[in-house]
Amino acid sequence: MRSSGLKGVGAKVIILEEASRLDEAVFTEVIVPLLNVRNTALLAISTPLDENNFYSTLLNMKDPITTGPMFNVLEIKLICDVCAKKGIKDTHAAEETTSWP
């Protein structure tokens, strides 16, 4: 997706669905300026297939002043870390997720 023609002047909440497929230029030219508007929230949802995408880079960004995470990240996995490392596609981790009311 090209960033030309995608401009905004303000937002309360920005929702990026399948954020790992977002072009970096769209993020830097469209989303970042909107995040400078006071009280703007960003909700980026995705299922990255690997760590070679801009979304994964954003998840690991650190604040240059505090050295803490740049973003609050809530990660919900449907596979446990042990099975993921073994390459086993399990479903038992999905049973442990919180159900929504």
Report CA 57 to chain centroid distance, whole Å: 9
Residues 17-46 pLDDT 10s: 999 888 889 888 889 888 888 889 999 998
Q: What is the pLDDT of residue 44?
A: 92
Residue the block writes with tokens 């920005």: 14
CA distances, 76 to each of 34, 36, 57, 67 (Å): 26, 28, 17, 24
- Cβ atoms of 73 and 59 closer than 8 Å: yes
Average pLDDT over residues 64-93: 83
Q: How crowded is residue 34: how many other Cβ atoms within 10 Å of its Cβ?
A: 15
Gap between the Cα atoms of 35 and 11, Å rounded: 8
